[in-house]
Amino acid sequence: MCVEASHKVFPEWQSLQASKVKSLHRTAFHFQPPKNWINDPNAPMYYNGIYHLFYQYNPYGSTWGNIVWAHSISTDMINWIPLDPAIYPSKPFDVNGTWSGSATILPGNKPVILYTGRDGQKRQVQNIAVPKNTSDPFLREWVKPDYNPLIVPNNGINASEFRDPTTAWLGQDGHWRVLVGSRRKNRGMALLYRSIDFKYWWKVQHPLHSAAGTGMWECPDFYPVALEGEFGLETSVNDNGVKHVLKVSLDKARYDYYEVGRYFAEQDQYVPDITSADNGMRLRYDYGNFYASKTFFDSGKNRRILWGWVNESDTEDNDVFKGWAGIQTIPRKVWLDKSGKQLLQWPIKEIKTLRGLDVHLRRVHLAKGGLVEVRPITAAQADVELTFHIPNLHKAEAFDPTWVDPQQLCGQMGATVQGGIGPFGLLTLASKNLEEYTSVFFRVFKGKNKNVVLMCSDQSRSSLRPEVLKPSFGGFVDVDLSEGVISLRSLIDHSAVESFGARGKTCITSRVYPILATGKDAHLFAFNNGTEAVKILKLSAWNMDKPQMN
């Protein structure tokens, strides 16, 4: 899967106005503006009862360029109201670009934004913006102090690869700390800076963390997670009851990887657990089309929320034709799994307010080749949750330990490739006669000591259009199958399918462009192509209403 780099410029297209926005594949309940290009979610925050989402936006066209910080507000992260852009190129320190960054709430309930500017020398520098009037409940205007830039790329730092400051955190020593993504040769790095007054910053000698062979680290994120419970933590919390998550977006791979580990503040050192691979096969928030993610602490509901950018998989000329490109995922609550090895993710509970007409199935037997349609719902705009039971795990095929890349494995073993246990799951955005469908499914293998579960999204038949990307995505699922039970949830939204396996242990987001399975002509099926029968213990599906979206 190849997602176009967020800084690749198409001069001939970047300022073309959309004459008419094409709605065929526009999502209904995912975040997007009425038209034009969007990418990275920036500085999400909860402030005085209002959720704010800023995002990279081209006001003049539907490819990357002319980037400003667009700004929308909400009271529930489902319905959104647009405001004027909050940050745009206007000063010597950002005249050539206002790129990604994060929000920090300073003592005294004062929000600030740290962001990357591209200055007159075309260096990437780190700047600060503050609200013009904190009594404005919507924080509509932001100003840039004259003491910008705060941080510049000196001492051998590559000035063209130095960007995306994190939310800052306050240590027990009274020093603020922030990370900036960078690289040295092919070693990705999270550079660490400290400040006493949030104005003057100095670089710590060593990166907080780095890894060889990973390339440029974009959009780093660093935050604590509680060892027990699902509640979130303010970013500065660091005590015996927490671990820390370090997430980076690998520019070379175009995926978001994270590690769970320990943060030793006195040494300014982060040490990943041995359960988190410190290489390109790290844990991922999402094994599909998902990049440049950002979390924030929602103090209103005591949870940590994750946003991620979902790019198009269509051609650039078609993005120009339809007049828009890019969406954000449904915001997800994230917390640490009881095992301590990985995060769990789940759509925020507010998404349920969009549920309408529902259908429920119970104890449906799916023999080899079994197929059952889920109806009557609007299958192009739906939320579906189901739980499978596997009666006989002994018939699982042997797992080859050389199968280390789940995406490659899913590409070889698509939905039509019969196995022992699986593939079984959903055919989403399917045409009536199955000329088109996007499958989301599981396969179960017999490993050396335990069963190995593979979750896939096979897009090979997602569209009859030959020119669009149709990758297979996949991730392994660390789930206990002693009871033979596994769950799946999919949010289906015209051209987006967000799926959550085993209550959020493995997540896959796909972008697809059917030409038959659209609108009222889209169908939803549960299926089993394994030789062993499986049972749907329960299935619930809902039509999803359209919220107020910008």
Cis bond before residue 149 (omega within 30° of 0) = yes
What DSSP assignment string belongs to 448-503?
A: SSSEEEEEEEE-TTS-S-TTS---EEEEEE----TT-EEEEEEEEETTEEEEEETT
Mark 494-503 as b/e (b = at least 16 C-beta within 10 Å): bbbbbbbbbb
Q: What is the C-alpha to C-alpha distance for residues 548 and 526, in angstroms, rounded to an integer?
A: 31
Q: In Å, how far are 25, 190, 230, 296 from 333, measured between CA atoms?
A: 26, 24, 9, 10
Q: CB 207: neighbour CB atoms within 10 A?
A: 22
If you ran DSSP here, which 8-state letter would residue 412 be given? Answer: H
Of 469, 485, 468, 466, the C-alpha closest to 477 is: 485
φ/ψ of 107, rounded to 5, equals -55, 145
**Residues found in the chain:** 550
540, exposed or middle or buried, with CB in 10 Å at 0-12, 13-18, 19+?
A: middle
Neighbours of 4 (CB within 10 A): 17
Q: Which of 111, 242, 250, 243 is nearest to 168 (CA)?
A: 111
| Catalytic residue list contains 40 | yes
* 267 Cβ neighbours under 8 A, 6+ residues apart: none
* Structure tokens given for 381: 């705009």
Pick left, alpha or beta for residue 4 (phi over 0 → left; psi -120 to 50 → alpha; otherwise beta): beta
Alpha carbon distance, N-terminus to C-terminus of the chain: 30
Query: What is the DSSP annotation of 176-225?
Result: EEEEEEEEETTEEEEEEEEESSSSSEEE-SS-SEEETT---EEEEEEEEE
Q: Which helix (H) or strand (E) holds 409?
A: helix 406-412
Which 3 state secondary structure label does DSSP give 520?
helix
In the 8-state DSSP scheme, what is residue 267? G
Six-digit token string for 410: 């899913």
Point out which residues pair with 455 in neighbouring strands. Answer: 442, 475
Active site residue ranges: 40
